[in-house]
Amino acid sequence: MKKVLFALSFIFAFKVGLFSQTIRIKISQPTQNTIQLFDHFGERTRLVDSALINTNAEYVFSIKSNWKPGLYTLKLGKDLKAQFYGGEEAELDLIISGKESIRLKTALVAPIDSLEVLESQENQVYYQYMKRDKFISNQLGVLNELPNYFPEKDPFFAPVQKRYIALQKEYRSEVDALLMKNSSTLASRYIKTLRYPFMPFNLPLQDRLSYMKAHWFDEVNFADTALIQTNLLTKKAWGYIQLYRDQSLNKTQQEPLFAAAADTVISKCLMNETMAIFMRNQLVKLFEMLGMENAVNHLAERYASIGSCTDHEGDALKKRLEGGKKLAVGNVAPEIIGTTVDGKFFDASTIKADKTLLVFWASWCPHCKQEMPELKKVYEAQKSGTFEVVAVSIDTNSNELKTYLKEKQLPWTTLYDGKSWFGALPVAYHLYATPVFYVLDKNRKIVGKGGGLEEVLEFLH
């Protein structure tokens, strides 16, 4: 009996010890009693826990057994300067592996620069790299700009070039040694994703972009599913797509370039279904945020079927694609019947104007807030009877919507039912992002559509 009790107590102690890891962080001059911890799934963040400051001036989290190993973010609050000027909240990323406790010390001002990792191999390795990389990158950046001021024939050119190449070589060897020594850590896998290509010395400006495109993903392991529980791979992918930005193009013209870049990213993930689905969904959400409907449809057409029968996002993309085809230019749009924000019945078939501009929007949508004042200018400058605007709000708070409409004095009909994305009109028009603009003729035929006012202006006249 004693042996049994001893064995049970040993097992209990082992289990308690296994899940008794903690995160302890001491912040100098904190401005709030509570800090928060968030996890990542690509660009999605979720609050997982919060901690109160204790009598030792520490914030302590107990690491839960159901927390997945990954990159987490601590939100530490705003320092006094940020509070006064409206700055951002201080943040600190940390790796939680589930195999160790974490003890940190930092300052609210410049939390990374002042960070001391007192316990945690993962975070010691991660921040050793992060701090060193920042320092070396700044040095290389300065050296690489000097040829703009000292041409190749200048005596100063050769020693600068020699130091630039040597510094790159030394730093690469240093990081390679760090990764090899800590090859079993999550930090080593994350660092490989973070590493960016070194630019050759004195590379002509016109060739730099091509070089970065060719070498952007040299260090990335697209089969490493551990990257899903971070935002690192999504940021890396978006950084690559940004290399294809052309400032001379409008959004519609830019979309094919971004879509082609997204093809390159997803193609690197196709050997691993989990990673391919993850990356597809992340890029769809990013393009939705930018209002790039054509880019989203491009991804839907190509990659909606890459997953298994349990790929619900893929099924949603297929339905979205089908809905997009029904709402293509030249087709007849669903009828526009609803209730105004003042509770009155409205039927758009009574509109006498030559064209109707149907706008799906929300008062909380940043892009919408940029577009609405511009739409008001165009609306008020038109010749009488050219077009009428019907705005469908997906707001859920009627008071906030009414306040916004009153402040901005928007003169057209606004429909509202409080059902957000699930209202009759958003569902009928397969709405997935805001704003969306449809230009309809008198027969309700779609003559133009887009995710911005500039894209549909030509169809209003």
pLDDT 10s digits, 69-100: 999 999 999 888 878 788 889 999 999 999 99
Number of domains comprising the chain: 2
- Domain-located, residue 323: no
**Mean pLDDT score of the chain:** 89
Distance CA 298, CA 103 (A): 46
- Domain-located, residue 277: no
6-10, 273-277, 314-318, 349-353 — which is least confidently predicted?
6-10
Provide mean pLDDT across the span 201-230. 92
Q: Which long-range contacts (CB under 8 A, 24 or more apart) does 144-153 make?
A: 144/199, 144/201, 144/202, 147/201, 147/202, 152/202
- Domain-located, residue 161: no
- Domain-located, residue 178: no
More confident residue, 84 or 24: 24
More confident residue, 384 or 377: 377
CATH number at residue 66: 2.60.40.180
Provide mean pLDDT across the span 280-304. 87
pLDDT at 232: 95
pLDDT at 31 exceeding the cut of 70: yes
Encode pLDDT of 132-184 as tens digits. 999 999 999 899 888 888 888 899 899 999 999 999 999 999 999 999 999 99
Residue whose C-alpha is closest to residue 127's, from 167, 88, 184, 185: 185
Instruction: Examine the fold and report which residue of 93, 119, 145 is the final residue of a domain before the chain moves on.
Output: 119
- Domain-located, residue 413: yes
What does DSSP say about strands 116-119 and 44-52: parallel, antiparallel, or unpaired?
unpaired
Instruction: Examine the fold and report which residue of 58, 90, 119 is the final residue of a domain before the chain moves on.
Output: 119
Domain that holds residue 395: 337-460
- Domain-located, residue 439: yes
pLDDT at 114 exceeding the cut of 70: yes
Residue whose C-alpha is closest to residue 330's, from 221, 234, 419, 439: 439
pLDDT band for position 1 (50/70/90)?
low
pLDDT at 88: 87
Report whether 388 contacts 353 (CB < 8 A). Answer: yes
- Domain-located, residue 345: yes
pLDDT at 445: 94
Instruction: Examine the fold and report which residue of 95, 119, 143 is the final residue of a domain before the chain moves on.
Output: 119
- Domain-located, residue 426: yes
- Element housing 125 (H / E): helix 121-145
Provide mean pLDDT across the span 322-338. 86
CATH number at residue 342: 3.40.30.10
pLDDT at 12: 45
pLDDT at 451: 82
Which of the given ranges, 23-27, 29-33, 367-371, has the highest pLDDT on average? 23-27
Our measurement of the distance from residue 376's CA atom to the centroid of its chain's CA atoms, rounded to an integer in Å, reads: 30
Residue whose C-alpha is closest to residue 380's, from 351, 354, 353, 411: 411
Distance CA 255, CA 186 (A): 35
Residue whose C-alpha is closest to residue 357's, from 461, 220, 275, 264: 461
Provide mean pLDDT across the span 97-106. 96
pLDDT at 63: 95
67-76, 278-287, 293-302, 349-358 — which is least confidently predicted?
293-302
pTM: 0.76
Residue 303 structure tokens: 């990659």
Q: Going by C-beta distance under 8 Å and a sequence separation of 6 or more, which residues neighbour residue 80?
A: 31
pLDDT at 202: 84
pLDDT at 148: 83
Backbone phi and psi for residue 351, each to the nearest 5 degrees, phi listed first = -70, 135
Residue 305 structure tokens: 């079927």
pLDDT at 10 exceeding the cut of 80: no
pLDDT at 14: 46
